């Protein structure tokens, strides 16, 4: 799978981002209108933000944010993006 940005959030999915006590992002995402709400903490929130707000490949965005080499995180990042696509939280544009 090519984990390239941008992905889009479908119109029937809502999300917001906060920051926890330690400064790490926390994303709340849910199918609308009735949920349930999923909480994406830490690295999963970083992946989400890279997928929906990033300007380049998701793996590269996550690597820059976390300081981990792309080749080390690629498999996990692409697997998580695949899960978000399968659950309908993300979609490919077009």
Asked if 32 and 65 count as a contact pair (C-beta separation under 8 A), the reply is: no
- pLDDT string in tens for the chain (94-residue length): 444 557 999 999 999 999 989 999 999 999 999 999 999 999 999 999 999 998 889 999 999 999 999 999 999 999 999 999 999 999 998 7
Is 55 a member of any domain? yes
Is 2 a member of any domain? no
Encode 65-85: b = buried (16+ Cβ within 10 Å), e = exposed: ebebeeeebbeebbebbeebb
Domain around 51: 13-86
Give the total number of structural domains in the chain: 1
| DSSP code, position 91 | B
Is 65 a member of any domain? yes
Is 82 a member of any domain? yes
Is 7 a member of any domain? no
Is 45 a member of any domain? yes
Is 68 a member of any domain? yes
> What pLDDT score was predicted for residue 76?
97
């Amino acid at each position: 799978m090519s984990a390239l940005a941008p992905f889009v959030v479908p119109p029937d999915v809502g999300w917001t981002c906060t920051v926890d006590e330690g400064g790490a992002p926390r994303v709340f995402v849910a199918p609308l209108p009735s949920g349930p709400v999923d909480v994406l903490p830490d690295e999963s929130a970083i992946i989400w933000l890279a997928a929906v707000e990033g300007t380049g490949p998701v793996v590269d965005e996550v690597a820059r944010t976390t300081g981990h080499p792309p080749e080390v995180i690629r498999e996990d990042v692409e697997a998580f993006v695949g899960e978000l696509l399968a659950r309908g939280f993300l979609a490919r544009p077009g």
